[in-house]
Structures are given as structure tokens and as C-alpha cells.
Amino acid sequence: MSMEGCKARTGGTGVASSECMRHAVVTGASSGIGEALARELVGAGWAVTLVARRRERLEAIAAELGPAARVVAVDLCAIKDLRAWVASLGQPIDLLVNNAGAVAVGRFVDIDPADARHVLDLDLIVPLALCRAVLPAMLARGAGTIVNVASTGALGPSPGMVDYCAAKAGLGAASEALRGELRGTAVHVVTAYPGPTDTPMLRTATAGYPDARAVRSLPSGTPAALARRIRRAVDRRRARVIYPRVYTLFRYFPAIARRLLDRFTPPPLPASAGSDRR
Ligand SMILES: NC(=O)c1ccc[n+]([C@@H]2O[C@H](COP(=O)([O-])OP(=O)(O)OC[C@H]3O[C@@H](n4cnc5c(N)ncnc54)[C@H](OP(=O)(O)O)[C@@H]3O)[C@@H](O)[C@H]2O)c1
């Protein structure tokens, strides 16, 4: 970006280097996929706002990443007006990554309704509200990208994760529809469908099944490799990322995926074993 561009973005006042870089907001940046994305984006020259609840974790990551990273410690579910919150971030947002998420694993009838509601709120309602909050400015500026981190559970919903899959299927559907709606504008939407990826959430989910061997034997990936693919999809304006690639089966052969999931997913434990609501 030129110096003139920098001045325009900062109202003519700021020339601090991070204000002249493209700015990404990554939710859920204190661990797992969000942390890997923050690292990937800073490595690719972005300024990144790291959002999550655990301030000390965010600050430790930001300290490693240097001046291009800043921390906003907040519970996204506790924000009454996400539009005002986005405005309070100050800098224009070139990239929003809706990544923060929670899971509840167990028999549907056993899951605490409060856990179910929390999953639907954090994994579906909050990301949609954040899309609504950032879009007007992106459309007005004629630039911007939104990444929605759904799940392969949106394409092939797993027994034992009913509310989670409902939330992720909702987010995936909304994200794909929004991409279509925004065709012809300068704003691009990427939908990410991660399969099992080695993070704290995967460990929580695995703990929700008694026969964890079956779950552990599924093809899985790493947060760093997924983050690289998402960053490339942003740069190349791709529609979606399905990772590991074997799960593209879910997209193209949903009936086969359904049969495999129903037959081979082990019955879940009671819900208390597999919820990560704090
Ligand atoms: N790992 C997988 O196998 C997998 C597969 C498919 C999809 N995904 C999706 O990928 C995304 C990232 O998951 P992950 O595997 O990286 O899990 P993770 O390591 O548990 O990370 C979840 C992130 O969300 C943040 N978060 C949770 N509740 C929040 C809240 N109320 N407000 C703000 N931030 C909140 C957490 O930070 P704090 O606790 O500090 O708030 C953390 O940074 C999720 O949307 C998940 O559904 C993961």
C-alpha cells in the first residue's frame, strides 16, 4: 500500500507501520486454528487483531508476533452490540476470520440446553452478526474478505455432535449464500471446512466418545497446514477450503458420507465428558 493509501486509511494521522498493512481480525486466536492463522497472516505481512477471552494467552502470542499483532480480550457472546464493537476496533478491517468456536459432544438428549445454546450462539449467531457488522464498511471501501470457519460436520454431520453440526451447517450455508450474494462486489467470502485438526477442541471432542480409537483413526491435519491453505484461499479468492482433502468426499458424495458416518461413528458418552463451555 502506498503512503497516500496509508494516510487515507488512518485519516491522515497515522504512519505507524502496522497501520499501513492490511488488517485482519481473527476470532479465537488464543489457541488452535485461530492462533495458527494469526501466525500465518503476520508471517505474510498482515497486521492482525487477535480476539479471544484469555488475555494472557493472547498477549504471549502477540509478544512473539511483534508489533503487527494486537490483542483484544473479550467474550464474543457477551457483547450486546457487535456492530459498535467492530467500530470500536478503530482500524478498517480488510479480513475478518470468524474462527472462535465451541463444541458439545454427547447424546442429544443428555446435552445441557445451556451448552447447546452456547454452541449455537458462538458458532452461528455471533459469526453472522460479525459479517453484518463488517460488511457495510467493506462494501463502501470496495475491498474486503470474510473467512467463515465451519466444519466438515456441516457437510457430513456426525452423530454425537448434533447441536454443533447444526450450528456449523448453518454457518456453512450462510457463508456460501453470502458469497453468492456478494458476487459482482469487491467483497469475497471464503468458507473453510476443517476436518479433525490437532487442537484442544479436537481433544475435547474425542473425549466425548468412549471408543476414542475409532475417532483417532480418522484422517486428521494440523492447524499450521490448514492456516496456510486458508491464507492462500484468501489471496487467490477461492470459494472454500476443505482440509484434509479426503473430506471433499463429503461434498461430492454426501449419501456415501452419511452411510459411513452412521455406521462407523461410535456412540457418544453422556454430554458432560465433551463440552468446552467455560
Ligand atoms: N479442531 C478441529 O478438529 C475442528 C474441526 C472442524 C472445525 N473446527 C472449528 O475451528 C474453529 C477453531 O477451533 P479449534 O479447533 O482451533 O479450537 P480451540 O483450540 O479450542 O480454539 C477455540 C478458540 O475460540 C476461542 N473462544 C471460545 N469461546 C469464545 C468466546 N466466547 N469469545 C471469544 N473467543 C472464544 C478460544 O479462546 P478463549 O478460550 O481464550 O476464549 C479459542 O481461541 C472452531 O470454530 C471450530 O469449530 C475445528
Return the ligand 1 atom nearest residue 58 CA.
Answer: 40
Return the ligand 1 atom nearest residue 205 CA.
Answer: 3
Is 164 in the active site?
yes
**What's the whole-number mean pLDDT along residues 215-230?**
94
Check whether 99 has a pLDDT greater than 60.
yes
Encode pLDDT of 47-80 as tens digits. 999 999 999 999 999 999 999 999 999 999 999 9
pLDDT above 90: percentage of residues in the chain: 82
Contact 251, 195 (CB under 8 A): no
Nearest to 69 by CA among 38, 100, 44, 95: 38
Encode pLDDT of 242-272 as tens digits. 999 999 999 999 999 999 999 989 888 876 5
Encode pLDDT of 131-167 as tens digits. 999 999 999 999 999 999 999 999 999 999 999 999 9
How many Å apart are CA 201 and CA 191, to the nearest integer? 19
The DSSP H or E segment spanning 239 is none
β-partners of residue 104 are 275
Residue type, 263: R
Please tell me the distance between residue 68's alpha carbon and the centre of ligand 1 in angstroms.
22
Going by CATH, does the domain composed of 17-275 fall within 3.40.50.720? yes
Q: What is the pTM of this model?
A: 0.93
- Per DSSP, 119 falls in state H
| Neighbour-count burial for 161-184, b at 16+ CB within 10 Å, e otherwise | bbbbbbbbbbbbebbbebbeebee
Calculate the dihedral angle through the C-alpha atoms of 79, 191, 28, 270, rounding to the nearest 10 degrees.
Answer: 90
